[in-house]
Structure 1
Amino acid sequence: MNLLIHWCHTQFSNIGKIFRIASFEKRAAHQNHFLGLFWEFLSPTIQIVIYYLIFGMRLGGQQAMENGVPYVFWMLIGVIPWFYMSASINAGVSSISSNLSLISKTKFPVEILPTMSVIRGLNGFFTMMGLFLCLYIGTGHFPDIHWIQVIYYFLTMMLLLISLAMLNSVVTLIFRDYQLIISSMMRLLFFVSGAVIDVSANPDSWLTKLFMLNPFVYVIEGFRDALLSRAWMFDHIWWSIYFFGVTFMILLTGVYMMNKYKNYFVEYN
């Protein structure tokens, strides 16, 4: 518990540094591209169009979903958080290994590197979600009290991503093939996390219950619960308890491993 308290203190005491460096790294990554930061929005937009053509136009996805909402809106509610989560996880895996030179040359709080990798993509997420909400509201889907849950599910998403980034970044240093494993797993998880396919269509199915064990499903279905006004967060109390139990276990494991190996990180350079 003391390790977790120390980790939290390190994060909050360096919050300004986290956002400044994350913003700088994001600009630096696109400085040689003609379209610059616009690629953060253009790339996922192209993918969204492709997925809609495949799943929305060709594979029977043209029907209305919950509350008569067209499939394209139902899909976007899931795909936008997924793109952000996928990008953050892939960035978090290499957040320490790609900065070993920085760690070895300066006195830098290595614990904030995984958090920076998650923060880096927030502008893209907010922009994509903002554009979607403008389109969603503009077509007659007006906000109601359920929408306030978006704040809750955003915070749960951030907690999950930071926890995974903390654990994955340390494991990658010890076992370098782990980064390739995570990259391959994310391709599979895209189809079983409910982003474009309704994994909760048959609640009594054992396969659906298996999918519900995936923490990403909790986040994606949570955003849909909020924006489709179909349920409250406390309607799934046991699912919430399971999600936070798994997430905190991942976080505690990551914090423990970070504390155990951080003095040896430079040896992996």
Structure 2
Amino acid sequence: MINDIKEIFEKRKLVMTLAKSDFRKKFIGSYFGIIWMFIQPIVTVLIYYFVFQVAMKARPATDSPYVIWLIPGIVPWFYFNEALMAGTNSLYDYQHLVKKMVFNVSILPSVKILSSMFVHCIFIWIMLIVFLMSGQTPSLWWLQMLYYSGCTTFLLLGLVYFTASVNVVFKDMGQLVNIFLQFGFWLAPIMWDFSMLPSRLHKFFKLNPFYYIVQGFRDSFVFKVGFWEKPLLTIYFWIVSITIFCIGTIMFKRLKPHFADVL
């Protein structure tokens, strides 16, 4: 695991170059360019705002407005969703590089994640602007989002290593990931308040590692709670994430010799 992370770090200039190229490629031939990247998420937030707060009068377990409570939960999900879908298809998108024997294909999944991270950073800035415009006072707690963004990236890296490698030999993996993301969106407490559930179900939903990330963003921006105040949940998240990373890298290395032949 350490060697895999070290390898990505050593090739960081190449990863950054490919990620920038991938980011720009998404908007080639588009009149509005990068604007399209934000239209759908912004429309999504507005729809949920009108449905849950305006129409249904939903109120989270906090004095903050629903939108202020919603945005910190949905911003990491946009990053996770985009990076996992793009990373799953990374070997197909760069199959011309996979077929080159001298190229290290192990860095390709991280290219897609980094490309999605550029958009994630812009969304964070938008979130900060929304908070400031709503009268929220800037706080050092907001810096904690850097830690939780790192948690998201590490979790993604393990998942993408697994899904990208399996997708080469099992082309239905992309569809399975899409279904997984649809279920994951509603299983994670993004749109609904965790307090709505009976207490006996809390432990079950906390098994989802993304719960730690969503709640962490809200802890940083809404509840002002540090990750060190939840030691058991933090330890659990990292055990699960490291396990997923190990499984993903093992699968990637076992299937790696077959990538060029299949593609």
Would you say 1:214 and 2:208 are equivalent positions? Answer: yes
* Bigger mean CA deviation after superposition, 90-99 or 240-249: 90-99
Q: What amino acid maps onto 2:163 in structure 1? A: N
Cα displacement (A) at 1:135: 2.0
How far 1:86 moved relative to its partner? Answer: 0.6
Residue in 2 that maps onto 1:155: 150
Q: Distance in 1 between matches of 2:2 and 2:180?
A: 31
Instruction: Choose the corresponding residue for 1:228, options 219, 222, 225.
Output: 222
Indicate the residue corresponding to 1:255 in structure 2.
Answer: 249
2:188 equivalent in structure 1:
193
How many residue pairs match? The answer is: 263
Please state if 1:114 is matched with 2:109. yes
Partner of 1:240: 234
Q: Which runs of 5+ in 1 are unaligned?
A: none
Normalising by the residue count of structure 2, what TM-score does the alignment of the two structures yield? Answer: 0.94
Aligned counterpart in structure 1 of residue 82 of structure 2, from 87, 90, 114: 87
Structure 2 CA distance for aligned equivalents of residues 190 and 5 of structure 1: 31
Q: By how many angstroms is 1:203 displaced?
A: 7.2
Q: Distance in 1 between matches of 2:92 and 2:161?
A: 12
Which stretch has the larger CA shift, 31-40 or 200-209? 200-209
Per-residue deviation, 1:108 = 1.6
Q: Tell me the percent identity.
A: 26
Which residue of structure 2 aligns with residue 126 of structure 1? 121
Deviation at 1:130, TM superposition (A): 0.8
d(CA) in 2 for partners of 1:64, 1:210 = 20
- Mapped to 2, the partners of 1:70 and 1:202 lie a distance apart of 17
3-state secondary structure, aligned to 2:97: helix
**Is the Cα–Cα contact under 8 Å of residues 18 and 116 in structure 1 kept in the other structure?**
yes
The whole-number CA distance in structure 2 between the counterparts of 1:250 and 1:85 is 15
Distance in 2 between the 1:42 and 1:165 partners? Answer: 26
Counterpart amino acid of residue 6 in structure 2 = H
Is 1:49 matched up with 2:43? no
Q: 2:135 maps to which residue?
A: 140
Q: Among residues 19, 25, 28, which one is paired with 1:22 in the alignment?
A: 19
Cα deviation for residue 97 of structure 1 reads: 2.8
Unaligned runs of 5+ in 2: none
- For residues 30-83 of structure 1, give each alpha carbon's deviation from its aligned partner in whole angstroms, at most 9, with x where no partner exists: 11111112111122111211222222222332x3642x1101111111111111
The whole-number CA distance in structure 1 between the counterparts of 2:89 and 2:177 is: 11
Equivalent of 1:59 in 40, 56, 59 = 56
**Which residue in 2 is equivalent to 1:7?**
4
Mapped to 1, the partners of 2:198 and 2:229 lie a distance apart of 17
Which of 252, 255, 258 is matched with 1:264 structurally? Answer: 258
Deviations 1:138-178 (A, max 9, x none): 32211233223212111111111111111111121232212
In structure 2, relative to structure 1, the CA distance for the partners of 1:241 and 1:64 (3 Å cut) is closer
For residues 186 and 113 of structure 2, what CA distance do their matches in structure 1 show?
Answer: 22
1:94-151: CA deviation from partner (whole Å, max 9, x where unpaired): 1113322321135221111111111111222111221221221232211233223212
Give TM-score scaled by structure 1 length.
Answer: 0.92
Aligned Cα root-mean-square deviation (Å): 1.7
